[in-house]
Structure 1
Amino acid sequence: MQNRLITCTLLLAALGGLSACNKNKGGKSDVTGWNYNDGKKSSGFYVAKPKDIKTGPGLVFVQGGTFTMGATQEDVMGDWNNVPRRVTINSFFIDKTEVANVHYREYLYWLENVFQDPQYEAVVKGAKPDTLVWRSELSYNEPLVEYYFRHPSYNYYPVVGVTWKQAYDFCIWRTDRVNEKELIDKGYQNQNVLKQELNGGGQDNFNTKSYLMGEYQGVPGKPKKNPLKDAQGRPRNTVKFEDGILLPDYRLPTEAEWEYAALGLINENPSPRRSEKQRGEELISNRQMYSWKNDGYDNLRATRKGNWQGAFLANFKRGNGDYMGTPGGLNDRSAYPADVNSFFPNGFGLYNMSGNVNEWVADVYRPTTNQDEDDLSPYRGNEFKTVDVSGGEGNLRDSLGRIKYVNENDSSLRNRFNYQRSYAVNFLDGDSLSSSSYGYGITTLISDKSRVIKGGSWNDMPYWLSPGTRRFLQEDQSSSTVGFRCAMTHYGAPEGAGSKHKTGNFFPTRRQKR
């Protein structure tokens, strides 16, 4: 069963290279000569046509590239935790807006119906946001405790009071609901499967990884036009990941991805490539302080002449006691969080990457991480896991219907050259190889549960609105100033796959000169 999971991973990584074996008009393998997708005359090996990953609901494509990660202004806090460093980010998807109250209430609705059995009471209760984060000993915020999350007036305001763990679980739920809908829409799962789930399905609910590993069957459907065939040429209604139907996982963005997306650097390049004959300049000419391009929007106010000249571009605290200006001249029109679609979008079309609420990212916080991390897709927080097969095949799911994982055994990694331990959260900064130690609660508030938050909020001064600034909060804590948005990995050509874009440069075929 573990090998089956590894096979899925390898095939996923190979999707970008399938174009090489699908160039023949007859769909033949370049290495064996056998036909693809021909169960009658060949082996029946099915190869999906190379195509771009479908953009999931709510997401925006972010073309990757290199940028200088870290501080863009004076380190007024004296933390030295964001020293500038050049890194490269691969292309990915990220939410256009922060996750809103209505989205999170949809999540709770699903949990309350699927896990309505009393044995799951802790599951439902543990997912609810902490509305008491609004309370303050010397401020009258009690109405927000009662109404901010529930009242329709705040439907599209960012959800707050959510811990990092709760945001992480939301991403898993979102992945499963999106993929379940894909299978139902294409006829590979019967519509009744959703009704069964919402009628107290409990453990037997759709989970993407459980489905791919054969641990979840659901109610198979009968697609009208089914290109999937088995080795005998018969229609196959069980989908594999390499069929190109299921989407990758929704997840929290890494700190580097979040910061790169916040800067919207695509606006620095006036002519992004749209064909092999048209390409932009490899140039980033300006350093941004906030999330907007330095062309009339290089401050916290709109500077171009027009109706919006002088209007604030973000929701933040201008100064002590000034959260939204004076009557008749409100500056950002919001004393607390604002609608997730409000204020000025950046170069990638993303809203509120500066201000409104801080956002959880995937990374574990360390002050000197930027000195240790890889310069390609940097991230701190890896825990390398493998499927828990102790229960045997058919019993790989936990009580929530998800595949059970355990950390890899370090003794089995001795012959590997790329990593030797499964727990890499404190690698080179807090482990036995480093000179750093963190006595949480004694000498520091930093621990292996400290997660990075980015972006600044409605209750923050402008310094924290700069994408390069960073703070942290424990993963099991929450705040009225912290929300989140989801991301998704993009596979294939970094410019966006399809007929116009490929990975690498392709030159006209010419005879080599000798």
Structure 2
Amino acid sequence: MKKLLLLSIAFVFLLSSCGSKTKGELVGVQGKKWYPEKPYGMELIPRGAFIMGKSEEDMAQVLNAPTKTVTVRSFYMDDTEITNSEYRQFVQWVRDSIVRTKLAILADELGMGPEDGGIGEYAFKSADTTRMTTYQKYMLDNYSGMGETGYEGYALNTEEDLVWDTSDYPDEYYTEIMDSLYIPQEESYNGQRIIDVTQLKYKYTWMDIEAAARSRDSRRKEFLRTEELEVYPDTTVWIRDFEYSYNEPMHNDYFWHDAYSDYPVVGVSWTQAKAFCHWRTKFKNDDQKARGRQFVNQFRLPTEAEWEYAARGGIEGGTYPWGGPYVISDTGCFMANFKPQRGDYAADAALYTVEAKSYEPNDFNLYNMAGNVSEWTNSSYFPGSYEYASTMNPNADSGDNARKVIRGGSWKDVAYFLQVSTRDYEYKDSARSYVGFRTVQDYMGEEDSTQ
């Protein structure tokens, strides 16, 4: 009997060996073929080396950008600054998530489900999370930023459209939830119902890889960071940035009106820009998951070196994204939106910002890398960082430094700040009427130079 058992095992082993696709060779784990997909609205910036820093006289004598040769890896970059329309998509997603969460919680408390109609149509898809893994709970569409609710991990019903017309509210419970989203009636004017934007908060968790890599503590939880912040832009910057100046129309209309949809978003702090990057990554990967595809890597803010490399557009020693050294073309037109001629804001055909796809792009097909709005980078500002930063993908970043580098100059700046090598900064929790941002995404693999 024992011999028969051994013969059976040997026969099975022989069959499995004969049928093996690897033939016993080390061929590696066979996964799916990865095909890079250029993100919508982005351009591939090929890897390369360049001379970073002031390539001509430092007129301001700040001495914070000595020249050095650095190399950066390939990455995708938005061809324009993030627009009001794109940022509104983020804000509306947060708003809708909060509304759906509130509706589902009340429906659960009332014991109502889809069969009951009304608010029951927005009940949680499933209130049973006992069989879900921690990862499955994490991936559920429930990023409301409402703090602890007791319903973490419950699946929201995103298939039922939200009703915004008051005359179409399905029942009194739905009305109760929707009314809680708006400012009190006594605070409204002109007969308008205005959403209380302080309720629009986004909550997310990220891991501080830099700190974890340099620490001897192997417990991952020590390096997890949770952020919760309001996402609506600070529209008051149009008034607060300029004393004794009439800018109320920009405060009232710039962010939400369709007339400005394709203009760069402003009034967004560095921390809000980081939250947008996290949401954009999640939004894309939720779709990837639904399609059964591999996740993409994160969207993020560019490092200071990446920003300057992209702004130069492959032109060595150029003063501006178009080369330079002049800000006026051979046809007599200004090349960017800034403050020319001793303060004649309108001389370049714009008083404030212009549409994100204005003027000619640089040789990487990126628009407004000089002027329009200054742009947040991921790097912290240290005057002497060029002296000690690495020559490979340099990035002087510090969680203790609240000063973050902004680049490119803006509609209210003189030409000096438009130079690709000029450094400036703002504090990460500040918002300005002249600071926006664009995002990047690392290219995975070795890029094809013919792309």
Give me the TM-score of the superposition, normalised by structure 1.
Answer: 0.57
Aligned to 1:511: none
Deviation at 1:154, TM superposition (A): 0.5
- The answer as to 2:302 corresponding to 1:318 is no
User: More helix by proportion, 1 or 2?
Assistant: 2
User: CA separation of 1:166/1:28 partners in 2, compared to 1, >3 Å: closer, same or farther?
Assistant: farther
In our comparison, the structure showing a higher alpha carbon Rg is 2
Deviation at 1:46, TM superposition (A): 3.6
5 Å-filtered alignment, 1:187-206, equals: 188=292
Give the counterpart letter for 2:33 in structure 1. K
- The answer as to 2:44 corresponding to 1:70 is no
Aligned to 1:126: 230
Aligned to 1:114: 97
**What is the distance in 1 between the residues matched to 2:54 and 2:20?**
51
User: CA separation of 1:46/1:110 partners in 2, compared to 1, >3 Å: closer, same or farther?
Assistant: same
User: CA separation of 1:469/1:33 partners in 2, compared to 1, >3 Å: closer, same or farther?
Assistant: same
Q: CA RMSD in A?
A: 2.3
User: CA separation of 1:147/1:63 partners in 2, compared to 1, >3 Å: closer, same or farther?
Assistant: same
**What is the distance in 2 between the residues matched to 1:480 and 1:56?**
28
Alignment check: 8 A CA contact 2:91 2:200 kept? no
Match of 2:33 among 49, 73, 80: 49
- The answer as to 2:329 corresponding to 1:302 is yes
**What is the distance in 1 between the residues matched to 2:93 and 2:420?**
34
- The answer as to 2:78 corresponding to 1:95 is yes
Q: Secondary structure at the match of 2:376?
A: strand
**What is the distance in 1 between the residues matched to 2:305 and 2:77?**
12
Match of 1:484 among 426, 430, 437: 437
Aligned to 1:343: 359
Deviation at 1:458, TM superposition (A): 0.4
Aligned to 1:33: 25
**What is the distance in 1 between the residues matched to 2:56 and 2:417?**
11
Give unmatched runs, 5+ long, in structure 2: 1-18, 103-145, 148-198, 203-228
Match of 2:404 among 429, 435, 451: 451
5 Å-filtered alignment, 1:416-495, equals: 425=398, 448-495=401-448
5 Å-filtered alignment, 1:161-310, equals: 161-184=267-290, 186=291, 188=292, 245-265=294-314, 268=315, 286-293=316-323, 298-303=325-330, 309-310=331-332
**What is the distance in 2 between the residues matched to 1:72 and 1:479?**
29
User: CA separation of 1:28/1:451 partners in 2, compared to 1, >3 Å: closer, same or farther?
Assistant: farther
**What is the distance in 1 between the residues matched to 2:301 and 2:254?**
24
User: CA separation of 1:47/1:464 partners in 2, compared to 1, >3 Å: closer, same or farther?
Assistant: same
Give the counterpart letter for 1:159 in structure 2. V
- The answer as to 2:42 corresponding to 1:59 is yes
Alignment check: 8 A CA contact 2:381 2:405 kept? yes
Aligned residues: 310
User: CA separation of 1:27/1:491 partners in 2, compared to 1, >3 Å: closer, same or farther?
Assistant: farther
Tell me: higher relative CO, structure 1 or 2? Use CA pairs within 8 A at least 6 residues apart: 1
**What is the distance in 1 between the residues matched to 2:82 and 2:34?**
31
Q: Deviations over 1:156-214 (max 9, x none)?
A: 10000000000000001111112222333x3x3xxxxxxxxxxxxxxxxxxxxxxxxxx
User: CA separation of 1:74/1:34 partners in 2, compared to 1, >3 Å: closer, same or farther?
Assistant: closer
Alignment check: 8 A CA contact 1:56 1:247 kept? no
Deviation at 1:491, TM superposition (A): 1.9
Match of 1:334 among 330, 333, 350: 350
